[in-house]
């Protein structure tokens, strides 16, 4: 079997066999196929597509290059959640302690920020002392102790995906749905959980800009999960505006703690509660959405979810003192404000531009060598549909220096629209897709 023959076959729109795909993945991972040949294959797959069988075989080959994590029987059922990424998306941090407080075990391998979207690991690392990289043994032990295991990928968990993703990122092949599917599932299925709930975001702040693109990705993920006989559902959620009111790593820890205390703001509650319900439904819960939501609200009132989050931070080496009053530990180097400039109702946000402004402030990386400022970020005071006065502050900015704050302010001034007529707030839950 020769790599050039397989590249030509996919270039001509032919279907590859399971053995041919396995050959490409195994030999590339073992450095027996050079970058330029796999890059040519990825471009052929990007242009001509992969069918469900090929996507399954690619996922399988990448998965088998990795070390899987089996959980002891006493810890089951264990559930996972995956988000395709958004601006202000802190749902992994609100969902996991909430479900853990009800006796569910939640395990997930999380990542850093990608493009204009924030990463769960960067948010966790904004807590002093917290180390989000756990060994396989630590993942199992800590899940048993507090019901939450959120860890970064270790070297032996995703070697094939790590190499292939880096090549896709550098050569313009990131947006291929079959390649996205294989990348996500080769990591997710390495954790031997009892089910996955996918949060597929669409809108100006998501990688999938339209609901139709999001549906295609959701169906692709579910069809491959079905071939693996792994339970999964996909929830399509709206990312036409940032989730919550805070963007930036430590600022999103503040909002996480506030949510676990109060169940607010409403949009975070809506997405968190619905994902929680879908996990419970996968586990066979007889409760309907209203009954389960009441149970979640009661849990928040009890302070049990906040206690679970504190346990998780402590077990990860983080300083739990800051969680009693996280706002008092927010000490940015520079700040500023941007008033609305016009009276009326918030009509729209360019959420991707807001995410990019947060990067300029220091909340993410513009270059691979950049250091993240954990205190940098944006506070958005209003949501779509809410009234604002011309002199009212719409954005509070916190950055590494005055120059960054000034540049981000210029970007944010182009990121919203105000109209005289009141418009409805967008629904956060678009639809549920199941196999």
What are the tens digits of pLDDT across the range 255-268?
999 999 999 999 99
pLDDT for residue 114: 66
Pair 372, 278 in one domain: no
* Average pLDDT over every residue of 84-102: 96
- What confidence tens digit (pLDDT) does each residue in 224-238 have? 999 999 999 999 999
Does some domain include residue 225? Answer: yes
Pair 337, 375 in one domain: yes
Helix (H/G/I), strand (E/B), else coil: 82: strand
pLDDT of residue 65 exceeding 60: no
What token pair was written down for 135?
A: 């060994």
Does some domain include residue 168? Answer: no
Distance between CA atoms of residues 221 and 215, nearest Å: 10
Tell the burial category of 256 from Cβ atoms under 10 Å away from its Cβ (0-12, 13-18, 19+). Answer: buried
pLDDT of residue 54 exceeding 90: yes
The band of 323, judged by pLDDT with boundaries at 50, 70 and 90, is: very high
Distance between CA atoms of residues 434 and 87, nearest Å: 25
Distance between CA atoms of residues 157 and 303, nearest Å: 34
Q: Which residue has the higher pLDDT, 204 or 233?
A: 233
Distance (Å) of CA 4 to CA 8, 16, 36, 54: 6, 13, 11, 18
Does some domain include residue 65? Answer: no
Distance between CA atoms of residues 230 and 181, nearest Å: 14
In degrees, rounded to 5, the angle at the alpha carbon of residue 141 between the alpha carbons of residues 221 and 229 is 25
Tell the burial category of 429 from Cβ atoms under 10 Å away from its Cβ (0-12, 13-18, 19+). Answer: middle
Final residue of a domain: which of 323, 353, 374?
323
Return the closest-CA partner of residue 200 out of 55, 280, 82, 355.
82
Residue 89: which CATH number? 3.40.1030.10
Does some domain include residue 380? Answer: yes
Final residue of a domain: which of 257, 291, 323?
323
- Per the structure, the complete domain to which residue 240 belongs is given by 73-152+191-323
Active site (annotated) includes residue 161: yes
Pair 37, 112 in one domain: no
* Average pLDDT over every residue of 373-393: 97
Pair 109, 38 in one domain: no
Q: Which one of 80, 161, 238, 373 is the catalytic residue?
A: 161
What token pair was written down for 242?
A: 């940032």
* Average pLDDT over every residue of 288-293: 96
Strand pairing class (416-419; 78-83): unpaired
Final residue of a domain: which of 278, 302, 323?
323
Tokens 């999001």 found at: 214
Pair 258, 346 in one domain: no
Does some domain include residue 57? Answer: no
Active site (annotated) includes residue 183: yes
Distance between CA atoms of residues 93 and 125, nearest Å: 13
Q: What is the DSSP letter of 17?
A: P
Helix (H/G/I), strand (E/B), else coil: 185: helix
Distance between CA atoms of residues 262 and 198, nearest Å: 25
Q: Contact, 354 vs 412, CB < 8 A?
A: yes
89-127: b or e for each residue (b if 16 or more CB lie within 10 Å)?
A: bbbbbbbbbbbbbbebbbbbbbbbbbebbbbbbbbbbbb
Active site (annotated) includes residue 328: no
Pair 276, 405 in one domain: no
pLDDT for residue 425: 92
Does some domain include residue 63? Answer: no
Mean pLDDT, the chain, integer: 92
Distance between CA atoms of residues 262 and 242, nearest Å: 19
Residue 400: CB partners within 8 Å, gap ≥ 6?
Answer: 333, 334, 361, 362, 373, 376
Does some domain include residue 67? Answer: no
Count: domains in the chain:
3
Distance between CA atoms of residues 190 and 133, nearest Å: 16
Residue 402: which CATH number? 3.90.1170.30
pLDDT for residue 82: 95
What token pair was written down for 17?
A: 């066999």
What token pair was written down for 364?
A: 């993410």
pLDDT for residue 368: 60
pLDDT for residue 118: 72
- What confidence tens digit (pLDDT) does each residue in 271-284 have? 999 999 999 999 99
Q: How many CB atoms lie within 10 A of CB 377?
A: 30
Pair 205, 84 in one domain: yes
pLDDT for residue 183: 87
pLDDT for residue 171: 60
Pair 123, 214 in one domain: yes
- What confidence tens digit (pLDDT) does each residue in 15-42 have? 999 999 999 999 998 899 998 998 999 8
Q: How many CB atoms lie within 10 A of CB 411?
A: 17
The band of 293, judged by pLDDT with boundaries at 50, 70 and 90, is: very high
Q: Which one of 90, 116, 168, 409 is the catalytic residue?
A: 168
Does some domain include residue 179? Answer: no
Ranges 81-85, 91-95, 259-263: which has the least confidence: 81-85
Residue 43: which CATH number? 1.20.970.10
Pair 299, 348 in one domain: no
What token pair was written down for 375?
A: 């205190």
Pair 148, 226 in one domain: yes
Pair 78, 199 in one domain: yes
* Average pLDDT over every residue of 293-320: 97
Q: Which one of 163, 187, 269, 428 is the catalytic residue?
A: 187
Q: Which one of 83, 176, 183, 234 is the catalytic residue?
A: 183
Pair 266, 388 in one domain: no
* Average pLDDT over every residue of 344-353: 97
pLDDT of residue 179 exceeding 70: yes
* Average pLDDT over every residue of 73-102: 96
Beta bridge partners of 79: 106, 195
């Amino acid at each position: 079997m020769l790599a050039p023959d397989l590249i030509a076959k996919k270039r001509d729109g032919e279907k590859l066999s399971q053995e041919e795909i396995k050959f490409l993945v195994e030999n590339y991972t073992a450095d027996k196929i050079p970058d330029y040949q796999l890059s040519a294959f990825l471009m052929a797959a990007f242009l001509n597509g992969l069918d469900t069988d090929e996507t399954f075989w690619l996922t399988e080959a990448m998965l088998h290059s990795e070390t899987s994590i089996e959980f002891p029987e006493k810890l089951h059922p264990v559930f996972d959640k995956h988000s395709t990424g958004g601006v202000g998306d802190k749902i992994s941090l609100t969902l996991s302690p909430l479900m853990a407080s009800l006796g569910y075990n939640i395990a997930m391998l999380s990542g850093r920020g990608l493009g204009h979207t924030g990463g769960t690991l960067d948010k966790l690392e904004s807590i002093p002392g917290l180390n989000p990289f756990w060994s396989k043994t630590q993942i199992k032990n800590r899940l048993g102790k507090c019901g939450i295991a959120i860890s970064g990928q270790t070297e032996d968990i995703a070697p094939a995906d790590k190499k292939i993703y880096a090549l896709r990122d550098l050569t313009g092949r990131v947006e291929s749905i079959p390649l996205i599917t294989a990348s996500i599932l080769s990591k997710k299925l390495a954790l031997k959980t009892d089910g996955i709930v996918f949060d597929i975001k669409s809108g100006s702040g998501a990688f999938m800009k339209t609901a139709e693109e999001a549906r295609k990705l959701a169906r692709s993920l579910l069809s491959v999960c079905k071939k693996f006989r792994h339970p999964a559902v996909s929830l399509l959620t709206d990312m036409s505006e940032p989730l919550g009111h805070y963007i930036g790593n430590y600022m999103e820890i503040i909002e996480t703690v506030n949510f676990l205390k109060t169940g607010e703001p409403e949009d975070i509650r809506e997405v968190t509660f619905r994902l929680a319900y879908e996990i419970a439904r996968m586990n066979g819960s007889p409760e309907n959405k209203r009954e389960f939501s009441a149970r979640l609200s009661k849990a928040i009132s009890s302070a049990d979810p906040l206690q679970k989050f504190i346990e998780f931070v402590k077990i990860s080496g983080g300083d739990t003192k800051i969680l009693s009053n996280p706002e008092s530990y927010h000490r940015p180097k520079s700040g500023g404000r941007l008033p609305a400039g016009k009276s009326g109702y918030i009509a729209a946000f360019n959420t991707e531009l807001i995410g990019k402004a947060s990067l300029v402030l220091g909340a993410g990386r513009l270059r691979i060598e950049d250091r993240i400022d954990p205190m940098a970020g944006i506070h958005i005071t209003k949501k779509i549909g809410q009234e604002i006065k011309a002199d009212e502050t719409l954005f509070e900015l916190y950055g590494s220096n005055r120059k960054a704050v000034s540049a981000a302010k210029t970007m944010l001034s182009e990121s919203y629209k105000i109209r005289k007529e009141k418009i409805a707030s967008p629904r956060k839950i678009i639809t549920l897709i199941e196999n």
